[in-house]
Amino acid sequence: MRKIFLGFLLPLTLTFTPSFALAKEYKSTLDLSQSLDSVEGNNIFYTTTMRLIQQQIYLIARLEQALTSPDANKMRSVGGQLIVHTHSVETFLKRQHPSPKTLCTEKGELSPQSALPLQLTDAQLQIYCSLYASSQELLKLSPVIDRLLSRRGELALVKPLPLVSGERQSDPVISIAPLQRPDLGKPSTPYASREPNLNSSPLPVVGSPAKTAITNYRPSMQPAIAPPEEAITTLKTADQILQTAQAAFPANIKFINPQEDAASLDRFAYDIDSQEKQIYAQFLHLPNTGIFRVLPDSAYRRQPNTLQNRLQPSVSERYPFPSVGDVKGNFIPSLALKMIDDNFQLVPQGINYGFIINIGDIPLEKLDARLQAVNSSTRDFFLNYQPPKELKALQIDRRRLITGKNQNWQQSQIYLSSARAKLNHTYLVRSLQFQLPEIILNRQPISRQNSRIRQQLTEVHSSDNIIAFRAVRRRPDGSYTILWRVLHKLPAPQIEDLENYVIGD
């Protein structure tokens, strides 16, 4: 059976950004003059309604995106598209019947009092009324968009609309400045647009003040944008009406779902391929194993001088690091890895730390808890390293392993929290993770007689794992697919002097 697909393919050129907009940014410019294959004897009704419905599907997706995006230009652009599309639908409907309002109900059904136009079949009448009802439903968002646009204007510069004549606009102050034409397709410029490009943040020190990269600099808080409930309800209603219209088309007519395409692009950008799980299915059936895509550091960072809705799930939230231990409350031991340049790097979250070493082309299946396949010096250090039980000493070890300086281990080898990435090589990781109470992390003053707080200080969740992983694929973006396996779970480390860091009120 031949299928007709409408619209254009989404752009496949992806660059890593920490914003969910990467995978949800889709554009479709359906050309109404585009020739389509004949449907039921070259019926122009189906030809036109197919295009209008597909345009409306894309419009709903763009509206959903604009409602949660801090980009003022995106909000202004979709407001204009809504008006233009509604006019196109109204013009077409009135060619079929002079009064769609009397022919159809608000739910997209045929009105019982209407006189049936003879030129339309029952299926066509269903499409006709659904298209009318959904466009009228979306038109309710016009005042909502106007209201939200003014709020977006508090965050970033709203560019003026392009001139109708297509001419360019000169700078109002500097006459010799280059001519510009406003472009609503580009992201709007935030008012606070002097952010430094800090690729790496200073290593935090818990329990004492630490230097910052820029004195007295505090990064601006990103906006929190929740779409209005009325807008969500309107979009859901319009989408349900459109689904009824799509079901009335002949079975060979298929429509593109941009949300599904956006989700596919998001997985393409950040997740492993589904085929990879099938390729390594035999290994993944072993206990304490998994597969993960190690992303470049840029995937987790927001680009400077750009806006991001902090309520939208980030890349690390949508594709979390793999869990490698027992979950205790909200404490989840994980293999926190990312790529910095061409190195595997353990992510130094909180006071977590660890060390990593390349042990060569050794299959994961040949490794065991006693590390017998590893040379003796590496085996001894991985199995016998004892983390300090004082917070300050623990953070000193952490800094040694990150910088490689002042290492006074008995072994002559220097151990680091990063290692050069090599395909088809296996790596050993010793990962130590802690969940400190908020009163310690944020240095909150409390009463030392508070028994509940004292109880929390003695119940710090922690984990200590030896993990092996193997790099099995490298992508052009610098990311790696790895297979991992937990080899040994050591006793959870303890910190015995946390009471010394409690600030009395």
Give the structural domain span for 301.
Answer: 271-504
Q: Is position 436 within any domain?
A: yes
Under DSSP, the state recorded for 82 is H
The answer on 485 and 360 residing in a single domain is yes
The answer on 172 and 292 residing in a single domain is no
How far apart (Å, rounded) are the C-alpha atoms in residues 373 and 182? 64
Q: Is position 351 within any domain?
A: yes
Q: Is the dihedral of CA 317, 319, 323, 324 positive or negative?
A: negative
Residue 108 has a pLDDT of: 79
Q: Is position 408 within any domain?
A: yes
Q: Is position 217 within any domain?
A: no
The answer on 293 and 228 residing in a single domain is no
Q: Is position 216 within any domain?
A: no
Strands (E), 250-402: 253-254, 289-294, 337-340, 343-346, 353-360
The answer on 227 and 300 residing in a single domain is no
Q: Is position 356 within any domain?
A: yes
Residue 23 has a pLDDT of: 38
The answer on 446 and 305 residing in a single domain is yes
In angstroms, what CA-CA distances link 250 with 41, 253, 449? 12, 6, 75
Q: What angle do CA 227, 229, 230 make, to 5 degrees?
A: 110
* 362 conformational bin, left if phi > 0, alpha if psi -120 to 50, beta if neither: beta
The answer on 158 and 23 residing in a single domain is yes
Q: How many helices (H) and strands (E) does the chain have?
A: 15, 12
Per-residue pLDDT of 320-334, as tens digits, reads 999 998 888 889 999
The answer on 50 and 174 residing in a single domain is yes
Q: Is position 95 within any domain?
A: yes
The answer on 394 and 284 residing in a single domain is yes
In angstroms, what CA-CA distances link 314 with 163, 210, 227, 390? 37, 27, 18, 34
The tally of CA atoms less than 13 A away on the side-chain side of residue 302 is 19
Q: Which two tokens stand for residue 231?
A: 């807008």
What residues in the chain have per-residue pLDDT under 70? 1-42, 113-118, 159-182, 193, 198-204, 207-213, 410-411, 442-458, 503-505
Residue 2 has a pLDDT of: 35
Strands (E), 323-460: 337-340, 343-346, 353-360, 418-420, 426-435, 445-446
- For residue 346, list its beta bridge partners: 337
Q: Is position 258 within any domain?
A: yes
Q: Which of 71, 14, 3, 2 is nearest to 262 (CA)?
A: 14
Residue 207 has a pLDDT of: 63
The answer on 389 and 248 residing in a single domain is no
The answer on 384 and 317 residing in a single domain is yes
Strands (E), 140-283: 253-254
The answer on 257 and 287 residing in a single domain is no
Per-residue pLDDT of 152-183, as tens digits, reads 888 887 766 665 555 555 555 555 555 556 67
Neighbours of 401 (CB within 10 A): 24
Number of domains within the chain: 2
How far apart (Å, rounded) are the C-alpha atoms in residues 433 and 183? 48
pTM value is 0.80
Pairing relation of β-strands 343-346 and 418-420? antiparallel
Instruction: Answer whether 159's CB lies under 8 Å from 184's CB.
Output: yes
Instruction: Answer whether 489's CB lies under 8 Å from 385's CB.
Output: no
The answer on 277 and 251 residing in a single domain is no
